[in-house]
Structure 1
Amino acid sequence: MEEQNEVLDPVQAEPATALALYDPIESGLAELRTAGAEAFDVKSTAGNKAAREFIQHCVAIRTATEEAYTNWNRPIMAVQKQAREKRDEILGAVKAIEAPVKDQIDAEQKRKDEERTAKMKAEADRIKVHQACLNAIATLPRDYISSPAADVEAAIRDLESPEYLDSRNWEEYAEQAAAAIDAALTTLRAHLENAKAREELAAMRAQQQAEADARRAEQEAAEAERRRVDGIKERIRAIEQAPSTCIGLAARQIQARIDSLAREAADDFAEFQAEAAAAIDAALTNLQTLLAAAKDAEELKQLRDDAAARKRQEEEAKEAAARAEREAEERRQADARAAEEQRKRDEAEAIRREQEAAKAAAERVRAQAGTLLALLTEARAHVPAGDLADRIDAAIAQATGSAA
Structure 2
Amino acid sequence: MTTGTSTVKVPPRPRTAALSAGTTALAVFAAVRFVGVLVIALGAWATDRDPLTVLGTSFDSGWYVAITEHGYGRSLAWPHSGAIQSDLAFFPLYPSLMRLTTLLLPVGAAGAGLLVAWGAAAAAAVGIYRVGERVAGARTGVLLVALWGVQPHAVILTAGYTEALLAALAAWSLYALLRERWLWAAGLAVLAGLTRPTGIAVAAAVSVTALCALLARGGHRRPEVWAAGLLAPAGWAAYLLAVGAQRDDLLHGYFAVQDSWGSRFDFGAGAVRTASQVLMGQSGPNAVMTLVVLAVATGLAVLLLLDRAPLPLLVYTAVLLVITLGGAGFFDSKPRFLLPAFPLLLPLAAAMARARPRTAVVVTGVLAGLSCGYGAYLMLVSHVPL
Q: TM-score, normalised by structure 1?
A: 0.16
Q: TM-score, normalised by structure 2?
A: 0.16
Relative contact order, higher structure (CA 8 A, sep 6+) = 2
Question: Higher helix share goes to which structure?
Answer: 1
Structure number with larger C-alpha Rg: 1
Question: Higher strand share goes to which structure?
Answer: 2
